[in-house]
């Protein structure tokens, strides 16, 4: 079935949207944070633990699964859901971001992108058609168009050329897309130029995608520019389709971009922070490697309802991290993912009550004005 989006309520003072996404695995509320399971697993966590933190859609990576174990293996296993034992919706990215981080500018041609396999050095070519073919075989619920992600800084001339290439690639990918169980999203590019974002949206909407992603953010630009790019994109996107901001997971960025009209987010940050001993809390990010937590027998965050906070103390988790025990990273991953999911749950409640601006003010006061943010 194709993804469907229902707009339930719009905050009267902002562009924030309360909505529902209808998927092959049920109906989910938005705004939503999607944990990232790059290689068909959210690092250190089981599917059961993901359900316990109230995860809805999770994301897997086309590029990595293409190289290991290969889309044919996943296809033979019965698709990504059976392969990884996840009975919820899955979104696969196009592989574009990973390729562009590996490729040099001269390797980007009209045909696609040439780059070296990071595992064995083989020469590879990823095209819009190949990206869609891989995702069709992975059998995710949502597939992404293959686009060019432009880094920061850049010239307007290059962005103009890149947007046109992204549009041609989107059309080529849509022409070969053939999995009736999947939905296909178009990706809006155009950097910080409103006219280019508007043009990109208008041309993608003509192609009639099932949803739309906002790309080209969180690539090194300052936050105010990120928010501007989101505004320029959401301003022209259709109100009856879901809006997905790719690769953004800093708590304040989720709050600010919900205010600008984004519905779903993803980022690797909660598990990455966890592996380095960092925890997200109501009062900012803390580093459990710090000595002051050695005898701190309180939960990571007393306001949190996750398994880690209900059963373990900062002192114990600090010990695990210092001893390089993976259980420490697991507990922090559970907590950090639950934190971001709970953040979107609170935002949904704020939208329902037309108090998103008040919520932002309270969030900033607590997160930045309370205990020192140790991140």
Q: Could you check whether the bond before residue 31 is cis, i.e. omega within 30 degrees of 0?
A: yes
- Tell which phi-psi region holds residue 70, choosing left (phi > 0), alpha (psi between -120 and 50) or beta: left
Would residue 141 show up in a list of annotated catalytic residues for this protein?
A: no
Find, among 247, 289, 245, the residue nearest to 263 by Cα: 245
Catalytic residue, chosen from 93, 139, 253, 301, is: 93
According to the 3-state scheme, what is the secondary structure of 34-56? EEECCCCCCCCCCHHHHHHCCCC
Helix (H, G, I), strand (E, B) or coil at 268: coil
Q: Are 266 and 59 in contact (CB under 8 A)?
A: yes
**Kind of pairing between the strands at 183-188 and 211-214:** parallel
Catalytic residue, chosen from 139, 147, 253, 266, is: 266
Would residue 266 show up in a list of annotated catalytic residues for this protein?
A: yes
Helix (H, G, I), strand (E, B) or coil at 118: coil
Provide DSSP, 68-105: TT-HHHHHHTTSHHHHHT--S-EEE--SHHHHHHHS-G
Residue with tokens 């990595």: 64
Burial class (CB in 10 A: 0-12, 13-18, 19+), 227: middle
CA distance 92 to 177: 14
Find, among 355, 367, 190, 337, the residue nearest to 259 by Cα: 355
Helix (H, G, I), strand (E, B) or coil at 282: coil
Q: Tell me the catalytic residues.
A: 93, 266
């Amino acid at each position: 079935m194709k993804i469907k989006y229902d707009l339930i309520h719009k905050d009267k003072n902002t562009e924030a949207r309360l909505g529902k996404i209808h998927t092959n695995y049920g109906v989910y509320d938005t705004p939503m944070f999607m944990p990232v399971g790059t290689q068909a697993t959210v690092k250190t966590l089981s599917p059961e633990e993901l359900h316990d933190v109230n995860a809805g859609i999770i994301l897997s990576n086309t590029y990595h699964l293409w190289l290991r174990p290969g889309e044919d293996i996943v296809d033979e296993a019965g698709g990504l859901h059976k392969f990884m034992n996840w009975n919820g919706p899955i979104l696969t990215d196009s592989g574009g971001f990973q390729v562009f981080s590996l490729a040099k500018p001269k390797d980007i041609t009209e045909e696609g992108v040439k780059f070296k396999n990071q595992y064995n050095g083989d020469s590879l070519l990823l095209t819009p058609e190949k990206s869609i073919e891989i995702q069709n075989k992975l059998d995710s619920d949502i597939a992404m168009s293959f686009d060019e992600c432009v880094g920061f800084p850049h010239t307007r001339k290059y962005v103009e050329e890149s947007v046109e290439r992204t549009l041609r690639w989107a059309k080529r990918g849509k022409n070969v897309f053939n999995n009736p169980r999947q939905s296909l999203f178009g990706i809006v590019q155009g950097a910080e130029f409103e006219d280019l974002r508007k043009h990109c949206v208008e041309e993608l909407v003509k192609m009639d995608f099932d949803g739309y992603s906002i790309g080209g953010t969180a690539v090194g630009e300052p936050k105010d520019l990120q928010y501007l790019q989101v505004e320029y994109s959401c301003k022209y996107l259709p109100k009856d389709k879901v809006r997905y901001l790719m690769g953004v997971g800093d708590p304040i960025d989720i709050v600010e971009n919900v205010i600008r009209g984004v519905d779903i987010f993803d980022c690797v940050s909660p598990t990455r922070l966890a592996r380095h001993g960092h925890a997200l809390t109501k009062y900012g990010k803390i580093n459990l490697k710090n000595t002051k937590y050695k005898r701190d027998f309180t939960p990571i965050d007393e306001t949190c309802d996750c398994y880690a906070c209900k059963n373990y103390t900062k002192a114990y988790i600090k010990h695990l991290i210092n001893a390089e025990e993976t259980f420490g990273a697991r507990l922090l991953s559970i907590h950090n993912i639950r934190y971001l999911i709970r953040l979107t749950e609170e935002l949904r409640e704020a939208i329902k009550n037309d108090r998103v601006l008040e919520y932002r003010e309270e969030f900033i006061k607590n997160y930045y004005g309370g205990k020192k943010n140790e991140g």
